Each structure stands twice: as C-alpha cells, then as structure tokens.
Amino acid sequence: MFGTASAEVWTWSREEPERRPGRLFTLHIDPMGLDLIPVRCQCGRHTYERDIQDACVHRETDLCPFQDERFPRGILGGCCWLLGKIAEIELEALGETALRERMFEDMTAEEAVSFGRALAGTADFHEELPEEERFYKHETFAWKGTWDRERYAWVFDRPSTFEQAIVSVREAARWYEKVGRLGFGVRAWW
C-alpha cells in the first residue's frame, strides 16, 4: 500500500505546556483521490483471454459491461474503473471507518464480492436507522460535490444528503460485486 508522508516537527501536550519533538514521518491515507481499477486476480482460480487490456474486464472490441451502470470515474479513469472517493467520503460521514479504510486496499475477486456485500449490508443498516440517528451521523458531510447520474457530471457546492450517501455506497457495492463476479480483483490507486 502506498501512502504519503507528513512531517510533524512539534506537538503540544496538555500535560506539558512546553514544546517537545513530534513524529517526523507518518504514513496516512491520501485524501486527494481514490480510483478503483479492475485487475487480473492473483488467486490463480480465474482464466483470462489474452487480448483483454490491463485495467479492463473486456476486450477492446467488446462493449464495456459497466457502460449502462454509468458509475462515476476519475479524470484518468477507464471505462471499467470506479471513482471510489465518493463512496469513501460517504462511508466516513456514516461513521464506517473500517469499510472506508478497506477501500484503499487491493482485493482478489473473492474479496471484492465479499466487500461489495458488506457495503450493501451497511447501506441497509443505515437506511433502517431511525430518522434522528441518521441526521446525527450526517451533520457534517465532507463532500461538497455530488455525481449527477442523469447528466453524467459533477454538481458542486451542495452537500450530499443521507439518501445520496446511501446511493453512493450502493453504487460502490454493485461495482465491487460485478468486478469480482467477472473474475477480476481490485487495485486501489490513490
């Protein structure tokens, strides 16, 4: 897994009002982006046709199986990719830290299917919460843009709603399950 470095030269302590040396090197998840890319699974149980390009689940001459799904893609994203940053931020807003962090890890096809099911189960769980608990978990969305599926474009300067958060998590769940069922693993590129 890749990370970026942040230098913290000085820290403050509540117990000690004077300055003391802090950590010099910290690995953390880069908040800039997260593209999810289908890759040939490394488990050895799947076979692939030779003319399937890297980062694709189909031959160049065939229609992409994700074409009708209209999943959000990053600037450099291919037709089979998913811009995972949207679901990642919504999972953070939902308080689902473990699932959010798992999105930054590579997966085999079987792990992708399992993870997709976990995401769908999380969406179900949050939809069943009472209204007052939903609002509490969603007071501060970090995401200030939403993906408009009809226009196939970003719409900025409006915070996402609870319903949009659930849609984003369900989209990611469908993408992970579909990639895994097609026999491909997932590379998290961030």
**Does 142 score more than 50 pLDDT?**
no
From residue 147, how far is each of 53, 130, 177, 179 by CA, in Å?
A: 27, 26, 21, 21
Task: Give me the pLDDT at residue 2, please.
Answer: 43
Mean pLDDT of 151-161: 73
Task: Give me the pLDDT at residue 21, please.
Answer: 44
Mean pLDDT of 144-148: 68
What's the one-letter identity of residue 5? A
Q: Read off the pLDDT of residues 96-122 as tens digits, 9 standing for 90 and up.
A: 999 999 999 999 999 999 999 999 999
- Which residues, other chains included, contact 35 with Cβ-Cβ below 8 Å and sequence gap of 6+? 73, 74, 76, 77, 81, 82, 83, 84, 85, 188, 189, 190
Among 171, 76, 56, 178, residue whose Cα is nearest residue 123: 171
Among 66, 78, 79, 74, residue whose Cα is nearest residue 171: 66
Q: Read off the pLDDT of residues 12-69 as tens digits, 9 standing for 90 and up.
A: 444 444 444 444 444 455 457 899 999 999 888 998 888 898 899 999 999 999 999 9
Give pTM, 2 decimals: 0.76
Backbone angles phi and psi of 115, in degrees to 5 = -65, -40
Q: Which 3 state secondary structure label does DSSP give 29?
A: coil
